[in-house]
Structure formats: C-alpha cells, structure tokens
Amino acid sequence: MQEPTIEPGARGAAGRTQHPLIPASRVNGTAVYNREGDKLGKVEDVAIDKVSGKVAYAILSFGGLLGLGERYYPVPWEVLRYDSERRGYVVPLDKAAVEEAPSFEPHEVSGWDDAHIRDHIYDHYSRYAVAPFI
C-alpha cells in the first residue's frame, strides 16, 4: 500500500498553511453565518457518534445576552460548509429557520441524542438543505 503524500507549503489567502483536518478544540468557538453573511452564532461543540466515529452534529450556540437565555442547536454536520474568507462556517439557513429548529438549554445535555430526537433534527434541516449543502 502506497503512503499518502502531503504537499508542503499549500497556503491560503491569509498566508497560513491549509489542510483538511482540524482538531475539535479549534472548531469550538468558530462563527457560523448564513449565505448572506449574517452571523447566526458559533460552534459550541461537536457531537461524535461513538460507533462510526463520524461527526453527527455541530452544536450551535445562538441567542441570549452574556450567556443568559442562550440555546444550543444541534445542526447536522453535513449542513455546514467552511468558508476560508469568513474564517467560519456557512449554513443555507436564515435566522428564522435556526430559531424554529430543535434546541435545548446549555444545562440539558441528555435527551437530544436518542433516535426520535435525532430523526426530528434531521427532518427539520432536510426542509432547508439544498445542493450543494446536503
């Protein structure tokens, strides 16, 4: 089996080396925008399926003031696209679509990962996702 090659020196617009992988710790806190460039929130965390190893959701934090009234929105990872110019993720949603999405409060860490809730989350976002997002 041939070892993969890495092309050194591939640089982006900001002069930083570009590569396709990023640690989850650097994803957390990344801004999320809609296509029009409005900031919707930020990635608070990622949820990874323990069995497959795939990222299931980006947990988007949205709303509130100084952490009060903030809600978490699990957004299927496939909906997000990284925009290197914005240095953030872009979703094909407007603010109203996110506000209508399944969500939970920061202290509610259980209950949103069961099969019924997962299906509800994916059903919600399938209404808004259009090529090339999903």
Rounded distance between C-alpha atoms, residue 103 and residue 105, angstroms: 7
Q: Is residue 63 part of a domain?
A: yes
Q: Is residue 60 part of a domain?
A: yes
pLDDT at position 10: 46
Contacts of 82 (CB under 8 A, 6+ apart): 88, 89, 90
Does residue 32 carry a pLDDT above 80?
yes
Does residue 7 carry a pLDDT above 50?
no
Cβ atoms of 123 and 134 closer than 8 Å? no
Highest mean pLDDT among 70-74, 83-87, 126-130: 83-87
How many domains is the chain built from? 1
Q: Is residue 118 part of a domain?
A: yes
Average pLDDT over residues 85-96: 87
Q: Is residue 106 part of a domain?
A: yes
Q: Is residue 98 part of a domain?
A: yes
Does residue 128 carry a pLDDT above 50?
yes
At which residue do the structure tokens 């399944």 appear? 102
pLDDT at position 104: 80
Average pLDDT over the chain reads 75
pLDDT at position 5: 46
Taking only the tens place, the pLDDT of each residue in 51-79 is: 888 888 888 887 666 556 678 888 888 88
- Kindly report the CATH number assigned to the domain that includes residue 81: 2.30.30.240
Separation in Å, CA 23 to CA 3, 8, 19, 20, 64: 22, 19, 11, 10, 27
36: containing domain: 24-126
Of 116 and 128, which is predicted with more confidence? 116
Q: Is residue 134 part of a domain?
A: no
Q: Is residue 19 part of a domain?
A: no
Q: Is residue 122 part of a domain?
A: yes
What is the distance, to the nearest Å, from the Cα of residue 91 to the centroid of all Cα atoms in its chain?
Answer: 8
